[in-house]
Amino acid sequence: MTIHREGKNWVWGTFITVLLINFLVLNFRAEHDWITVLVLIVTLVFFLLILQFFRYPKRNITRNENYVIAPADGKVVVIERTEESEYYKDKRIQVSIFMSPINVHANWYPMSGKIKFLRYHKGKYLVAWHPKASTENERSTIVVEKDSNKTILLRQIAGALAKRIVYYPRENDLVKQGAEMGFIKFGSRVDIYLPLTAKINVELNQKTKGGVTVIAELV
């Protein structure tokens, strides 16, 4: 387990802030020692929360050219046929994974291929499970195409707490299944749009493990 590169400044900044707050409290504390203890506990808990949020676990990545693996840790909150209006402009199977603040927030590529389409959209910060979050929130859209011309669309969506979406690919990049795709800070969602012929291997409310859980098979 390591700290994700997106979190190193956060971790060091929080660590220094916690030290400074506790130094000031110890030197200028009130008559009651319980205030000092309370500040110590609160700042320590906050620091541990920042550490766990930016943790980056080692994973034994699931690799198979026919599999679409989970791009994120979290819970499956949507499995449905829907109209994808930005790129495909037709019916697709949408699978959405909600990431709570306690989940790992790194994102992985669900399959290998070429980045055919990449767009970033500024937007609102509705709660990530809101029906309009995928079209109105801050978001990125990434389309990965396999050699066989099969494609999937990924959408990183900011939530009420998420204030920054980070994505690493550029158009025409060749990417590898299970490699790191990006990061979403502080609560969010990832939507996956699959061909109607895809075999879905997850169920609603199922927990997923990024880079490991098989979301679907392309047939």
pLDDT in tens, 100-123: 878 888 999 999 999 999 999 887
pLDDT at 175: 95
pLDDT at 108: 95
Which is it for strands 214-217 and 67-69: parallel, antiparallel or unpaired?
antiparallel
pLDDT at 193: 97
Residues of the chain falling short of pLDDT 70: 1, 29-32, 124-136, 159-163, 186-187
pLDDT at 131: 60
Written as six digits, the tokens of 159 are: 């939530």
pLDDT at 135: 66
d(CA 210, CA 59): 8
Beta strands (DSSP E) in the chain are 2-3, 55-56, 67-69, 74-84, 90-99, 106-108, 113-121, 139-145, 151-158, 164-167, 174-175, 180-185, 188-194, 199-200, 207-208, 214-217
Written as six digits, the tokens of 191 are: 């939507």
Residues serving a catalytic function are 188
Taking the domain 67-217, which CATH number applies?
2.70.70
pLDDT at 147: 75
pLDDT at 176: 94
pLDDT at 24: 82
d(CA 103, CA 139): 19
